[in-house]
Structure 1
Amino acid sequence: MSSIQITVIDREGVRTPDVEWEDDESLMECLVRNSYPILATCGGNASCSTCHSYLDEISFETAGEIDEDEADVLDSLTEAEREPTSRLTCQIPWDEDLEGAVVRIGPF
């Protein structure tokens, strides 16, 4: 099993480096396993926004295109919550190129 290290910034602004993301997980699963407050209400099906988070710009580009279902959910967020690097973490599969990614957990 392979893993990479990412940095997670929680809702209080606490930065945790060296969070291990395993290759059999989505980013959402990694965050849940590491006890971050991600509700994952839809179970990773891109039909809610409870795993909404923000990526650093480089990781946002590396993570790939946003599909139509994810875009629809992100569009339903209030403008104050959506940022240019908003993603649903359930839609981001593990990729070794995301080593060092910085993920800031979005608001409820």
Structure 2
Amino acid sequence: MSSILINVIDREGERTEGVEWKDHESLMECLTRHKFPILATCGGNASCSTCHSYLDQESFVKTGGTNEEEEDLLEMLDDTRHDNSRLTCQVEWSEDLEGAEIEIAPEW
């Protein structure tokens, strides 16, 4: 089993470096396993947006962007949506995301 290390900024602005993300997990599963405040109310089915986060621009591009279902949910987040917004349940593990910077979006 492979893993990479990412950096996470929580809602209070506290940065945690070297968070291990295992290759069988979505980004949401990684964040919840490490006890970051991601609700994941829908269980990772892209239907609630409670796992909304921001990726650094380089990592956002590497994920391939959003699909139509994810885009529809993000459109409802007018106040907190950024160009680099993603639902972490839709971000799949990739070695290319080593060192990615993830910032957990404010609760809505």
TM-score, normalized by the shorter chain, greater than 0.5: yes
Q: Distance in 2 between matches of 1:101 and 1:9?
A: 11
Q: CA RMSD in A?
A: 0.6
Q: Deviations over 1:48-67 (max 9, x none)?
A: 11000000000000011311
- Alignment correspondent of 2:50: 50
Q: Distance in 2 between matches of 1:40 and 1:60?
A: 20
Residues paired across the two proteins, number:
107
In structure 1, give the amino acid aligned to 2:75: D
Q: Deviations over 1:70-93 (max 9, x none)?
A: 000000112x20001000000001
SS of residue matched to 1:5: strand
- Alignment correspondent of 2:96: 97
2:33 corresponds to 1:33: yes
The answer for unaligned runs of 5 or more in structure 2 is none
2:17 corresponds to 1:6: no
- Hey, which bits of structure 1, 4+ residues long, moved more than 4 A? none
- For normalisation by structure 1, the TM-score amounts to 0.97
Q: Distance in 2 between matches of 1:60 and 1:40?
A: 20
- For normalisation by structure 2, the TM-score amounts to 0.97
SS of residue matched to 2:86: strand
Percent sequence identity over aligned pairs: 64
